[in-house]
Each structure stands twice: as C-alpha cells, then as structure tokens.
Amino acid sequence: MSTIEGKVAVITGASAGIGAAIARNLAQAGARLVLTARREDRLQALAQELGSGTAWLAADISAPDTAARLLGLARERFGAADILVNNAGILRVGTVDSFDLDALTPMIATNYEAAVRSSYVFARAMKAAGAGAIVNISSIGAHLTAPGSGVYGGLKRALEAFTDSLRIELAGSGVRVGLVAPGTTSTEIFDDMKAQGQRGWDEYVTPLQPEDIAAAVRYLLEQPPRATVSRVHVYSSGDAY
C-alpha cells in the first residue's frame, strides 16, 4: 500500500502536461485530489476521468486569493490538505532585442510569486497539523546559462533558493519540502515558441514525457517520514548538459 493512499493532494497547473500526469499518478496511488488551472473544461474532463475523489477550482494561480481558496476547498471537500505540488508555469524566451517585456510580469507572478504564496499558505496549515509535503516543480534551466532564457532560468533559480530555505525552516516540523527539476519535457509549454516560428526545445532531443516527471514527484512523496529528498533532477537521455 502506498503511503500516499488517502492523502489529499493539491496540484496547480493541472489541466494538461506535467500537472495532469501528476494528478493521474497520485490518483493511482490512492490520493484524493484538488486540481486547479485556468481552463475549466480541461479540469472538468480530468476530474471526471479520475472519479469522485477529485475536486477542482478553475482559477488564475497568480491571483492573490487563489491559494487560500484552494486550501479552503481541500478542507471543505476532504477535511485536510496533506500535499501541495506547485507545478503551474509559463515559458517566454527572447533575446535582448526581441523579448516581450509585457510577458515579464505574468512570468514572475506565475512562476515565482504564486508558488511562494501557495507554499506559505499551505505550510502554515501543514505545520499546525504536524505533517505535510510541498513539492515545487523547477527546471534544469535553473542552472543553465543560455541566451534568451535568462528570465525563465532566473525565476526557476529563485524558486529553488526559496524551496531550500523553506525546507530548512520547516525541518523538524513534520512538513517536508523538496523540488523536482525536469529536463526537456514534451508539453504545451513550448507552444508559444512554436507559434512565434521558433523550434521548441523538445524538437532538439528525444524529450521526456509528463509521466516521467510524475513518477519523480511520487518517488519524493513516498519517502519514509525520517527522510527528505530535497531535489530530484530528471534529464532526457538526449540532454547534453
């Protein structure tokens, strides 16, 4: 029996890609789920697929009240919130001359600020309960220096620094904190690049699939209470980094 069975897991960015794969994996392990994303139709379809142990909230994760609404929904529907997976993210790239500055604020709000806010909101509840787990989805891009990707990589590096700090702060509280950093994974995150006439990063190598990242999240969560896996990096076998 999985140690995840019966736990309540809240997953952001759950309407497709890595988030949806995490939802399916944890549902198979017996978790009850609270899913959020902006696309209501996708959430409804996934919730119907996963069954009655699934609740969902169509919302913008960068809105200041979304984290509290998710915690309230988890408590109302299932009585607790045991796991938080901060997965929502957007990717915009560009050179000094071509980067769309209007994309800067949404990237900061979604990729960093929302994850920090959600981590704090849920960490407070988990600390009071004496148990819980927070998993932040980073990227191997946090430690790559590549032209045109400085905003995305910089925000992921900031998220990793925050995640490490939160893990240390919560040590001994019963709340475990870690991160999973995917390599090149085939998801919709590259759609904007392709719409701009660029090649997506998943076209250069044989990419990982969302299920690979979901398996890494589950591995982190299934560690015994005495162990915390602080970070898992998952590379495509073709990633030469």
Question: Contacts by 151-156 with C-beta closer than 8 Å and gap 24+?
Answer: 151/92, 151/93, 151/99, 151/104, 151/107, 152/91, 152/92, 152/93, 152/107, 152/111, 155/107, 155/108, 155/111, 155/112, 156/111, 156/181
- From the candidates 152, 219, 235, 241, give the one annotated as an active-site residue: 152
For 197-235, b/e burial (b = at least 16 CB within 10 A) is: eeebbbeeeebbbbebbbbbbbebbeeeeeebbeebbbb
Q: Catalytic residue at 152? A: yes
Residues noted as catalytic: 152
